[in-house]
């Protein structure tokens, strides 16, 4: 029988230069892990004009390092739920209700972009 899937999380403590790797069983993470973004005062989001194909994009600005990241509507939805008060289960359910299906590739693409 195959091992249960695991999530690998990079964590960083303030004042330290390196990252630490933590592994969590996916079932445990799905039920209890609550992703938390950086503090509110360190970022800003600006909506961009609607693109010719009708998509909405946003710029996520890191105010501390003056860096910019272009994110789409689905990534913005996830960013807003990464507030530390929603579990992955709640985020997945809300995402499904909003967009019709929960696409795990959105998270797999968003996390490296945020890093």
Structural tokens at position 4:
């249960």
If pLDDT is split at 50, 70 and 90, which confidence band does 60 have? Answer: very high
Please determine, for residue 85, whether its predicted confidence score (pLDDT) is greater than 70: yes
Distances in Å between the Cα of 101 and the Cα atoms of 18, 44, 80, 81 are 36, 28, 18, 16
Q: Mean pLDDT over all residues of the chain?
A: 83
| CA–CA dist 58, 24 (Å, integer) | 31
Please determine, for residue 59, whether its predicted confidence score (pLDDT) is greater than 70: yes
If pLDDT is split at 50, 70 and 90, which confidence band does 31 have? Answer: low
- Confidence (pLDDT) at 66: 92
Q: What three-state secondary structure class fits 36?
A: strand
């Amino acid at each position: 029988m195959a091992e249960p899937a695991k999530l690998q999380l990079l964590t960083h403590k303030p004042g330290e230069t390196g990252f630490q790797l933590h592994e969590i069983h996916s079932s445990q993470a799905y039920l209890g892990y609550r992703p938390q973004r950086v503090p509110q005062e360190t970022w800003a989001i600006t909506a961009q004009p609607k693109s010719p194909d009708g998509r909405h994009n946003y710029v996520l600005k890191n105010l501390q390092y003056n860096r910019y990241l272009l994110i789409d509507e689905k990534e913005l939805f996830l960013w807003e739920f990464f507030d530390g008060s929603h579990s992955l289960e709640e985020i997945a359910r809300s995402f499904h209700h909003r967009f019709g299906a929960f696409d795990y590739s959105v998270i797999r693409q968003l996390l490296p972009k945020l890093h």
